Amino acid sequence: MNILLTGGLGFIGSHTATVLADYGHHVVIIDNLYNSQKETLNSLRSITGKVLPFYEGDVRDLPLLKRILKEEQIECVIHFAGLKSVAQSQTNPLEYFDNNVGGSIALLEAMQAINIKKLIFSSSATVYGAPQYLPYDEAHPLQPINVYGRTKLQVEEILQDLSQSDDAWSIVCLRYFNPIGAHNCGLIGERPQGIPNNLMPYLCQVASGQLPHLNIFGDDYDTKDGTGERDYIHVMDLAEGHAAALALMNRQTGFEAINLGTGNPVSVYELVHAFERSIQRTIPRIVQKRRSGDLPIYYAKVDKASRLLNWRAQRDLQAMCDSSWKYEQKIRAVL
Ligand SMILES: NC(=O)c1ccc[n+]([C@@H]2O[C@H](COP(=O)([O-])OP(=O)(O)OC[C@H]3O[C@@H](n4cnc5c(N)ncnc54)[C@H](O)[C@@H]3O)[C@@H](O)[C@H]2O)c1
């Protein structure tokens, strides 16, 4: 298939590009480089052995999108492009609604105009909000507790309305849990700008001496060891979930929301210990007070993905840590 990846130079998009190219799909990328680097294209070329057509541009640029969809004869779009910091979304809500919701509407308008009606959307576990029960299944109430989560929920609602207005649409919202890890070759991975918001990139920067110590926000939660628990999933497993979702879209139309996680909650200490095994050193750390807005624990029920996508995460926590560290060492070697 000819597939457009919006935000395809970012963390999840670039890994998905390698998997789809491997399956023989023709992958085209649009990215405005807001949170990614153009060099990732060279890495994708080395990994896939293919030159992936790349457009530097914004998904809110409707004429550009229409031109790409037409000229590249796109059949399906995977919409990764968006902003993803919970903290920044709280201080800059308009930017988040504009990019995440406005960008999605522009993309849908372009797709509708060219009559392309297959879409995979990068949604998030944040759409669920405070757990009323765990694991979250897809029927759990949707009550996000931050602006970022509300932008994702609004897009999901738009997509549901769209699919009800026209039954030719085939839409899959993939609700990602906590992707970490990197491609085995160490050429692509997660590379946040500035001080990382997420635990794994933070750990990597402490290990490589960019940051002095890890802050652990709260060790007095009612969890297995007092620290927060999350459902970490290897980004390559997540990438393979997209290939499985493509197969589903070719079998059915309508709207589906599907969790992509492992179903196993892992605590901050468990992740730190696994990472210490990867680097064979200890990580300096300081326990801080809980951060407001942090949930003690959440994780996914993954039965729907298994049933509809015939997909399950395969890689373990150690593989996630080893590959993240391998990537960190490669980027530090070239910087
Ligand atoms: N990483 C996570 O923990 C996580 C979890 C759940 C959901 N998601 C969602 O998955 C998607 C991909 O996440 P990621 O971790 O790869 O993020 P990322 O920031 O690495 O990738 C997003 C890419 O989109 C690009 N982009 C942003 N706005 C754009 C625009 N208007 N036009 C064109 N390109 C634009 C950025 O430059 C970047 O390359 C995002 O929508 C994110 O909200 C991520």
Q: Which atom number of ligand 1 is nearest to the Cα of residue 7?
A: 24
Question: How far is the C-alpha of 123 from the C-alpha of 4, rounded, in Å?
Answer: 17
Q: Which atom number of ligand 1 is nearest to the Cα of residue 178?
A: 3
Instruction: Label residue 254 left, alpha or beta by phi (over 0 means left) and psi (-120 to 50 means alpha).
Output: left
Contact 240, 19 (CB under 8 A): yes
Helical (H) or strand (E) element with 6: strand 2-6
Q: Tens digits of per-residue pLDDT, 86-144?
A: 999 999 999 999 999 999 999 999 999 999 999 999 999 999 999 999 999 999 999 99
208 Cα to the center of ligand 1, angstroms: 25
pLDDT at site 326: 97
User: What CA–CA distances, in Å, run from 133 to 11, 129, 164, 301?
Assistant: 30, 11, 29, 11
* Beta carbons within 8 Å of 27's beta carbon, 6+ residues apart: 3, 5, 8, 17, 20, 21, 50, 52
* Beta carbons within 8 Å of 155's beta carbon, 6+ residues apart: 100, 101, 104, 121, 123
Q: For a pocket test of ligand 1, which of 16, 30, 80 has the largest count of ligand atoms closer than 8 A to its C-beta?
A: 80
pLDDT at site 73: 98
Question: How far is the C-alpha of 308 from the C-alpha of 192, rounded, in Å?
Answer: 33
For atom 1 of ligand 1, the residue with the nearest CA is 179
Look at the alpha carbons of 217, 143, 247, 135 in this order and tell me if their dihedral is positive or negative.
Answer: positive
pLDDT at site 293: 86
Largest Cα span, the chain: 56
303: number of Cβ within 10 Å: 14
Instruction: Label residue 304 left, alpha or beta by phi (over 0 means left) and psi (-120 to 50 means alpha).
Output: alpha
Instruction: Label residue 218 left, alpha or beta by phi (over 0 means left) and psi (-120 to 50 means alpha).
Output: left
Contact 280, 319 (CB under 8 A): no
What number of H helices and E strands is found in the chain?
A: 12, 13
| Residue 145 identity | I
Contact 53, 28 (CB under 8 A): yes
Which of 55, 96, 148, 176 is labelled catalytic? 148
Question: How far is the C-alpha of 86 from the C-alpha of 83, rounded, in Å?
Answer: 9
pLDDT at site 335: 67
Gap between the terminal Cα atoms of the chain: 36
Residue 298 falls in the annotated catalytic set: no
Complete domains list, the chain, with CATH: 2-180+232-263+299-315 (3.40.50.720)
Lining ligand 1 with CB less than 6 A are 6-7, 9-13, 30-36, 58-60, 80-82, 84, 99, 103, 122, 124, 176, 178-179
Extract the residue ranges of the chain whose pLDDT is less than 50: none
Question: How far is the C-alpha of 42 from the C-alpha of 45, rounded, in Å?
Answer: 5
pLDDT at site 334: 75
